Amino acid sequence: MNEHVHTTSELTKNQALVMGALSQSDSPLSAYTILDHLRDDGFRAPLQVYRALDKLVEFGLVHRLESLNAFVACRHPGCDAHQAIAFMICETCGQVNEISDTSLAERLKQLASKAGFALKKSTVELRGICSNCQAA
């Protein structure tokens, strides 16, 4: 197995617990919400959650939503297109849709390069109402 690809089986106990909490949820969770979910599993302090989250984000298994101060499990496991992610966040139901778009990523690269800016990470978060909630 590729040493750079992290799967659930390679996670530590705490990382696996946090990953499980995020995977079961259909919307983003804050670190403190995760902590509450894991009290019965022995979690006592925020740092236990944050340390696991740091690693999970590093592994590409979890994304941080800056505009929500919350975290979601990646919906594209094993996908390497993670340079080009955008999130559509429904302000009604809270659900998040993760999309990967090459042309968007290209445009961001162009803009950065035109400004001589060495791009490391892109944050694209769209707020609005999802199709389900519009219909309702």
Position 129 contacts its own copies (CB under 8 A) = yes
Residue from 88, 93, 94, 98 binding its own copies (CB under 8 A): 88
Position 93 contacts Zn ion (CB under 5 A) = yes
Position 120 contacts its own copies (CB under 8 A) = yes
Please give the structure tokens belonging to residue 131: 């199709």
122 binds, among Zn ion, DNA, its own copies, none (CB under 5 to 8 A by kind): its own copies
Contact set for its own copies, span 63-82 (CB under 8 A): 66-67
Position 54 contacts its own copies (CB under 8 A) = no
Position 50 contacts DNA (CB under 7 A) = yes
Which CA distances in Å does 66 have to 39, 103, 128, 135? Answer: 25, 22, 16, 28
Q: Cα angle vertex 131, ends 127, 109, to 5°?
A: 45
Position 84 contacts its own copies (CB under 8 A) = no
First to last CA, the chain: 46
Cα gap 29→52, rounded to integer Å: 14
The closest of 6, 17, 114, 120 to 60, measured between CA atoms, is 6
Site string for DNA, 58-97 (x = CB under 7 A): -----------xx---------------------------
